[in-house]
Amino acid sequence: MANRSPAKRASAAIPHGLGRAELLEMYRLVRLTRSLEEKLELLFKQSKVIGGLFRSLGQEGESVASAFALRRRGDGTGDMLSPLIRNLGSMLTIGARPVEVVRQYMARGDSPARGKELNIHFTDYRRGFIGQISPLGDLVPVMAGVALTFKQRGEDRVGMVYIGDGATSTGAFHEGINFAAVQRCPLVVIVENNGWAYSTPTRMQTAAKSFAAKAAGYGAAADRVDGNDMLAVYGAAKQAVERARAGAGVTLIQVDTYRRRGHAQHDSQSYMDAAEIERWAATSDPVDRYVAALTGSGWASARELAEIDRAVDAELDAAVAEAEASPLPEPFEARTDVTGDGPVAGPWYRLDPPDPTKA
């Protein structure tokens, strides 16, 4: 997984049928992801983030590159994905906006989940993403059903669902991917092997030689790719997406990467080897490697990238300012949208005068 030296790639043709504009857009997205998380970390340290903060440092590349392989439209006719907590990059790639993410983390009333759900747990069917819930694995069956409906309706749309190395141990993952495979649903399952599930190393999660090896147990196609090589991830994802779109069913792609931060901000990472983290940072940072590929291959100039960086910073400053100006939700909102039958009853003892018959 040694970093490819610019030399080796010099004057290479752009792979996977990508154009220069797309390469730059992918750069913008991965940069946006990392910078947004850095902003969030700042806000977290200022106690402006409510609840935990989850970094995807070192994994942003695969999030962006895999989602980039989807048909991204924003009008409800494109592909659909469901991310994990560390797939901020996938969300931004398919259309989530930084200001939405900041509002979510700051529990604002105008955040997509209106303060009812946290961090990147939010949904937009038109843009093509379905927010996960905390119980791991549950979105695999759900996305299998999304893909089933594409098949039922004869739509050439594809679903993509992300699952961590740890979450592959859940019954939901198993039942969902088996269902999708036997029904030949157009679904791509990205297994993110970042080496850790909270403090649990992969070897304590499963005795399987690889996660790709699980595919055969479902009759799904398998692929495995260096998760910090954005172009490789894009290539693998693109192929799987096209397979699915062509009606050839489920592909499980193992993307190997590394979680350089703790599970969340509170996690000291005491159980991790600092040298290992350093090595990944030095030799396999997805952004560095992508920049090296872009510049080393003459696909982009340092100046172009610097411009993008400036634009990203400006966008994020604006997003944070906007989010900070956002109001917290109205308490009453706690009662809305439980069912379609209107707000649920409020507490009788908060009435004036209190009246239990009105409960």
Pick between residue 175 and residue 322 the one whose CB is nearest to a copy of itself.
175
**Residue 321 interacts with another protein (CB under 8 A)?**
no
Q: Binding mask 244-273 vs ligand TPP (x if CB under 6 A, - otherwise)? A: ---------------x---x----------
Pick between residue 78 and residue 164 the one whose CB is nearest to ligand TPP.
164
Q: Which is it for strands 200-201 and 196-197: parallel, antiparallel or unpaired?
A: antiparallel
**Residue 170 interacts with a copy of itself (CB under 8 A)?**
yes
Give the nearest distance from C-beta 187 to a copy of itself in angstroms. Answer: 12
Q: Which is it for strands 251-256 and 159-164: parallel, antiparallel or unpaired?
A: unpaired
**Which is it for the CA torsion 334, 338, 340, 344, positive or negative?**
negative
Q: Give contact residues for Mg ion (rule: CB under 5 A).
A: 164-165, 194, 197
Helix, strand, coil fractions of the chain, as percent rounded to 5: 45, 10, 45
Give the nearest distance from C-beta 228 to ligand TPP in angstroms. Answer: 15
Q: Binding mask 141-180 vs ligand TPP (x if CB under 6 A, - otherwise)? A: -----------------------xxxx--x----------
**Residue 196 interacts with ligand TPP (CB under 6 A)?**
yes
**Residue 259 interacts with another protein (CB under 8 A)?**
no
**Residue 219 interacts with a copy of itself (CB under 8 A)?**
yes
Task: Give every CB contact of residue 171 below 8 A, 6+ residues apart in sequence.
Answer: 137
Partnered with residue 159 across adjacent β-strands are 80, 187
d(C-alpha 91, C-alpha 64), whole Å: 8
Give the nearest distance from C-beta 192 to another protein in angstroms. Answer: 14
**Residue 138 interacts with a copy of itself (CB under 8 A)?**
no
d(C-alpha 211, C-alpha 217), whole Å: 11
**Residue 198 interacts with ligand TPP (CB under 6 A)?**
yes
**Residue 84 interacts with ligand TPP (CB under 6 A)?**
yes
Give the nearest distance from C-beta 171 to Mg ion in angstroms. Answer: 18
The single-letter code of the amino acid at 164 is G
How many CB atoms neighbour CB 253 within 10 A?
27
DSSP 3-state of 9: helix
Pick between residue 182 and residue 292 the one whose CB is nearest to another protein.
182
Pick between residue 117 and residue 226 the one whose CB is nearest to another protein.
117
Give the nearest distance from C-beta 133 to Mg ion in angstroms. Answer: 17
Instruction: Provide φ and ψ at 252, rounded to 5°.
Output: -105, 120
d(C-alpha 84, C-alpha 79), whole Å: 17
Pick between residue 5 and residue 125 the one whose CB is nearest to another protein.
125
Q: How big is the CA angle at 25 (ends 19 and 29), to the nearest 5 degrees?
A: 145
Residue from 58, 141, 227, 296 in contact with another protein (CB under 8 A): 141
**Number of C-alpha atoms within 13 angstroms, CB side, residue 254?**
20
In total, the chain counts a number of residues equal to 359
Report whether 200 contacts 194 (CB < 8 A): no
Instruction: Provide φ and ψ at 225, rounded to 5°.
Output: -145, 150
The single-letter code of the amino acid at 178 is N
**Residue 95 interacts with another protein (CB under 8 A)?**
no
Choosing among Mg ion, ligand TPP, another protein, none, which partner's interface includes residue 342 (Cβ < 5 to 8 Å by kind)?
none
Pick between residue 18 and residue 172 the one whose CB is nearest to Mg ion.
172
User: Which residue ranges make up the site for ligand TPP (CB under 6 A)?
Assistant: 84, 86, 134-136, 164-167, 170, 192, 194, 196-198, 259, 263
